[in-house]
């Protein structure tokens, strides 16, 4: 599926590659393939997965100059023992925002390569919201030379909608600049699906930049989905039911089965694979908190879970290797075959999918779950210190006067405001979608306030790129927060400061601390900060090792538990409450957003 394109682009094809070989390298590869030269590396004695036939072939895998030379019997070269084990192509994540790991790209690579992942296709739109096109360029720089192949889609939706405030919008020219980079392979998820469906020329111009365009169409079906597909969208990772995914697949849209920290859709979507096979299906993680990466794993965990759900290991493997490569036109990835990039994982078995060793780009990149050390690019200063927020006004988090029973502002001084209702964002456990509830407001001193007894917390989004002082406020239900507040500069997608709390002083303490840190996560109670994690790079990423980040996040979650918070990944849940493109009700610095209506709505319903 492709869309109308730039008429300057000629027809024909395809197939992304990371870096062309020197001719001498290709000649040497052929010599090794023929048997006229010794391989660099031989993975010997395993059962080798043929992604093209779903067979297991007994043989050595010969590698030369970073590529597979063949499967057979080979002498010489460095030897890696795979006897009794399963040799599979390196795992591929079809869609991930590396920023959600809160790790630098090299540290993310260290964690996932140890799990068998050798390629990711990422959308650096978090960085782009904070740093503009430079953020995407930096990600490409920061992932150069890693054992992980990092491909980039040019962010298409910065801002995610007109109701969010990033540092600045990313235009067609910015995207075209990113697409000139070697590892940039398409247009990233076009989240503004209403504009696509409506055929708005601005968004069609972005789609027309490249034949390969990722989608994002939560709950879009029927005629609207026809229009979205007809615009040239080739994938989607937002299905939450197999029926929705089937509708997309029928239209030729790749179904990217997602298992993210707070969007655990895999089990529900596997029914599509059971009924119609794994064609046009691939795995992705989208957004994973560092603790999920460290404890559960990455694409290996999706394979494990799929097999536990009764999916054939071979079907799981193609969805984790060849299919994501095909989805993205990565013609040298996803299989163990001559000429393919020498990325592979040696698995203990087809239940745990534990990688005993990993080869990436022809070199041993991990053994026994530990990555082989490699040099990481230095972090430039300009990606730090990005948090620019105006000092908070005393009434920054005021929710306004209590509504009267007929819907206007009332004059009650405490308790509920008769029949009047206020809008409440309802968290849906394990999902990015939210509900939109109407509840009687809690009122104190004539103002709408939080009501911990009904699990109604205040939610605020503080603009932090240009110190405008703009603050959006609302109510959220589902955290279980009883006292204090917590906040984050990870706040999709504009990454302003999002803060939830039941007392304004704690909310303010969190926000002020995050400004001082240059970004991060904080928990406060009684007006004082109790714990924090600094995320100095763009306000999104730590410079610490994954394990340290996980430990610190655990501490913060433990503090939140003391304050009543329940549910998995509360910081990720918080961070998505500001994303104005996933239904039903969200909050940005501009106010409460009715996502389906694409408009700001008042607190009073």
Q: Which of residues 425-444 bind a second copy (CB under 8 A)?
A: none
Binding residue for a second copy (CB under 8 A) from 50, 221, 404, 483? 50
What residue spans of 399-545 are helical by DSSP H? 504-517
Nearer to a second copy, 221 or 605 (CB): 221
Strand order in the sheet with 414-416: 414-416, 442-444, 447-449
Q: Does 280 bind a second copy (CB under 8 A)?
A: yes
Q: Which stretch binds a second copy (CB under 8 A): 12-20, 288-296, 419-427, 513-521?
A: 12-20
Binding residue for a second copy (CB under 8 A) from 2, 380, 382, 415? 2
Q: Which stretch binds a second copy (CB under 8 A): 97-105, 118-126, 204-212, 342-350?
A: 204-212
Tokens of 575: 């961070």
**Min dist. Cβ of residue 179 to a second copy (A):** 7
Q: Does 221 bind a second copy (CB under 8 A)?
A: no
Nearer to a second copy, 27 or 547 (CB): 27
Query: Residue for token digits 């054939």?
Result: 312
Q: Which stretch binds a second copy (CB under 8 A): 209-217, 361-369, 392-400, 442-450?
A: 209-217
Q: Does 12 bind a second copy (CB under 8 A)?
A: yes
Q: Does 218 bind a second copy (CB under 8 A)?
A: no
For a second copy, how many residues bind (rule: CB under 8 A)?
91
Pairing of the two strands 184-190 and 149-154: parallel
Sorted by sequence, the CB contacts under 8 Å of residue 120 that are 6+ apart come out as 92, 93, 96, 98, 112, 148, 149, 150, 151
Q: Does 274 bind a second copy (CB under 8 A)?
A: no
Q: Does 210 bind a second copy (CB under 8 A)?
A: yes
**Min dist. Cβ of residue 218 to a second copy (A):** 18
Q: Which stretch binds a second copy (CB under 8 A): 117-125, 167-175, 200-208, 425-433?
A: 200-208
Binding residue for a second copy (CB under 8 A) from 192, 244, 332, 463? 332
Q: Which stretch binds a second copy (CB under 8 A): 10-18, 136-144, 422-430, 539-547?
A: 10-18
Q: On the CB side of 100, how many CA atoms lie within 13 Å of its CA? A: 28
What residue spans of 277-414 are helical by DSSP H? 290-295, 299-308, 313-320, 322-327
**Min dist. Cβ of residue 286 to a second copy (A):** 21
Nearer to a second copy, 64 or 514 (CB): 64
Q: Does 33 bind a second copy (CB under 8 A)?
A: yes
- Helix and strand numbers (H, E) in the chain are 17, 32
Interaxial angle between packed helices 133-142 and 172-179, expressed in degrees from 0 to 180 and rounded to the nearest 10? 10
Q: Does 172 bind a second copy (CB under 8 A)?
A: no
Nearer to a second copy, 318 or 490 (CB): 318
Q: Does 223 bind a second copy (CB under 8 A)?
A: yes
Q: With helix as H, strand as E and coil as C, how does 223-247 read?
A: HHHHHHHHCCCCEECCCCCHHHHHH
Q: Does 173 bind a second copy (CB under 8 A)?
A: no
Binding residue for a second copy (CB under 8 A) from 340, 397, 486, 571? 340
Q: Does 27 bind a second copy (CB under 8 A)?
A: yes
Binding residue for a second copy (CB under 8 A) from 197, 342, 487, 557? 197
d(CA 410, CA 405): 7
d(CA 385, CA 166): 15
Q: On the CB side of 63, how many CA atoms lie within 13 Å of its CA? A: 23
CA-to-CA separations, 272 to 52, 214, 281, 469, in angstroms, rounded: 21, 20, 9, 47
CA-to-CA separations, 419 to 414, 439, 440, in angstroms, rounded: 14, 9, 7
Binding residue for a second copy (CB under 8 A) from 183, 216, 470, 513? 183
**Min dist. Cβ of residue 310 to a second copy (A):** 20
Nearer to a second copy, 182 or 264 (CB): 182
311 closest CA partner among 347, 350, 367, 264 = 350
Give the alpha-carbon dihedral of 511, 517, 520, 526, to 10 degrees: -40
Nearer to a second copy, 17 or 454 (CB): 17
Q: Does 46 bind a second copy (CB under 8 A)?
A: no
Residues 251-270 that bind a second copy (CB under 8 A): 251-252
Residues 136-165 that bind a second copy (CB under 8 A): 151
Tokens of 381: 């200063």
CA-to-CA separations, 423 to 414, 415, 579, 600, in angstroms, rounded: 19, 17, 17, 12
């Amino acid at each position: 599926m492709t869309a109308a394109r730039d008429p300057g682009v000629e027809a024909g094809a395809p197939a992304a590659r990371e870096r062309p070989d020197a001719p001498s390298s290709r000649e040497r590869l052929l010599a090794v393939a023929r048997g006229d030269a010794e391989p660099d590396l031989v993975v010997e004695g395993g059962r080798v997965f043929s992604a093209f036939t779903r067979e297991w072939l007994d043989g050595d895998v010969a590698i030369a100059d970073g590529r597979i030379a063949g499967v057979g019997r080979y002498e010489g070269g460095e030897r890696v023992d795979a006897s009794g084990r399963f040799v599979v192509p390196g795992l591929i994540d079809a869609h991930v925002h590396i920023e959600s790991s809160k790790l630098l790209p090299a540290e993310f690579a260290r964690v996932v390569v140890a799990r068998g992942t050798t390629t990711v296709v990422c959308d650096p739109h978090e960085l782009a919201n904070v740093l503009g096109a430079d953020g995407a360029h930096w990600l490409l720089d920061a992932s150069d030379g890693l054992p992980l192949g990092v491909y980039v889609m040019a962010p298409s939706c910065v801002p995610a909608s007109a109701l969010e405030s990033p540092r600045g919008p990313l235009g067609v020219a910015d995207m075209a600049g990113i697409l000139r980079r070697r590892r940039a392979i398409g247009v990233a998820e076009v989240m503004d699906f209403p504009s696509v469906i409506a055929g708005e020329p601005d968004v069609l111009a972005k789609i027309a930049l490249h034949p390969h365009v990722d989608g994002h169409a939560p709950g879009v079906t029927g005629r609207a989905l026809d229009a979205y597909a007809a615009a040239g969208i080739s994938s989607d990772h937002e299905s939450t039911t197999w029926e929705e995914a089937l509708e997309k697949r029928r239209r030729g849209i790749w179904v990217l089965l997602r298992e993210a920290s707070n969007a655990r859709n895999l089990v529900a979507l596997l029914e599509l694979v059971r009924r119609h096979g794994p064609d046009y299906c691939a795995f992705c993680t989208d957004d994973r908190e560092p603790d999920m990466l460290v404890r559960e794993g990455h694409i290996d965990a999706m394979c494990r879970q799929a097999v536990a759900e009764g999916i054939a290991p071979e079907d799981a493997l193609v969805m984790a290797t060849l299919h994501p490569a095909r989805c993205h036109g990565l013609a040298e990835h996803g299989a163990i075959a001559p000429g393919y990039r020498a990325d592979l994982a040696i698995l203990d078995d087809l239940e745990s999918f534990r990688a005993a060793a990993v080869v990436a780009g022809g070199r041993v990149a991990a053994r026994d779950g530990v990555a082989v050390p490699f040099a990481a690019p230095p972090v430039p200063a300009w990606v730090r210190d990005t948090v620019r927020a105006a000092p908070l006004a005393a009434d920054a988090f005021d929710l306004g006067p209590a509504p009267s029973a007929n819907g206007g502002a009332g004059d009650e001084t405490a308790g509920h405001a008769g029949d009047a209702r206020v809008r409440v964002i309802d968290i849906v456990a394990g999902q990015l979608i939210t509900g939109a509830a109407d509840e009687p407001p809690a009122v104190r001193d004539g103002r709408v306030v939080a009501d911990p007894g009904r699990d109604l917390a205040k939610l605020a989004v503080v603009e932090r790129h240009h110190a405008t002082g703009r603050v959006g406020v609302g109510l959220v239900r589902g955290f279980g927060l009883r006292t204090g507040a917590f906040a984050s500069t990870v706040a999709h997608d504009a990454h302003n400061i999002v803060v939830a709390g039941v007392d304004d002083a704690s909310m303010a303490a969190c926000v002020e601390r995050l400004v001082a840190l240059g970004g991060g996560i904080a928990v406060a109670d009684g007006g004082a900060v109790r714990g924090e994690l600094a995320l100095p790079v763009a306000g999104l990423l730590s410079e610490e090792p994954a394990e340290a980040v996980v430990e610190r996040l655990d501490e913060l979650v433990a503090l939140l538990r003391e304050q009543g918070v329940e549910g998995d990944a509360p910081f990720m849940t918080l961070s998505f409450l500001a994303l104005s493109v996933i239904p039903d009700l969200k909050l940005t610095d501009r106010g409460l957003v009715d996502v389906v209506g694409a408009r700001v709505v008042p607190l009073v319903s």
